[in-house]
Amino acid sequence: MTIADQILYEDNHLIAVNKLSGQIVQADKTGDICMSDLIKAYIKERDSKPGNVFCGVIHRLDRPVSGVVLFAKTSKALSRMNQMIKERDFQKIYRAIVTGNLPAMQGHLEDYLVRNAKLNKSFVTADSTNPEAKLASLDYRLLGTSNGGYNLVEIELHTGRHHQIRCQLAHMGCPVKGDLKYGAPRSNPDGSISLHAYSVTFIHPVRQQPVHITASQPWQNMF
């Protein structure tokens, strides 16, 4: 699959792609090619641009996570989108397959998370006065249950903490399928975890019109 096949939305200011599990959004220490560089190269060739192509990262997804990722094609769009996210005027909906029994059909989770950079992992702490603790908030609801006992849940994020969904669901006793780091009993064969950024909704930073972008979940046959 090429980057062209992954494009979900594009205009003069923004481009959204359906990230595959295993792809990285921006360059890291692995040296693997990242999505922002793929987009730059694609636009440069497609539009025959002679100079550098701008591609700003608006938000990120963990490497094993799939779904909608939004990039800015102009610095003005990037600045305005960053402010929108800071002010929480940017709705992000995820879907996940989880193990374990949900305590309720739907619910609200608030926890304080502490990030351990050495382990690249977040932990729930009972000490909200810890200066490194950050409030993490989300809502979840059950969408369906498979024959194998897995649950499909939809999550709306209200904050954007490191590994927030993975950590909070695991703390609730329902780790994401395939997520060994947070207590799943076994890995997925392809190395992914069953967490998908399903949609984003926001007001366009230039045209001031509502935008809703959806990436179909990759587990259609399970539920």
- Catalytic residue positions? 62
Q: How far apart are CA 126 and CA 115, in angstroms?
A: 14
**Could you tell me which residues come within 8 angstroms of residue 19 by beta carbon, excluding any fewer than 6 positions away?**
6, 25, 35, 61, 65, 66, 67, 68, 69, 197
Q: How far apart are CA 65 and CA 176, in angstroms?
A: 11
End-to-end Cα distance, the chain: 25
**Secondary structure E strands in 84-159:** 91-98, 106-116, 121-125, 134-145, 151-157
CB atoms within 10 A of CB 185: 10
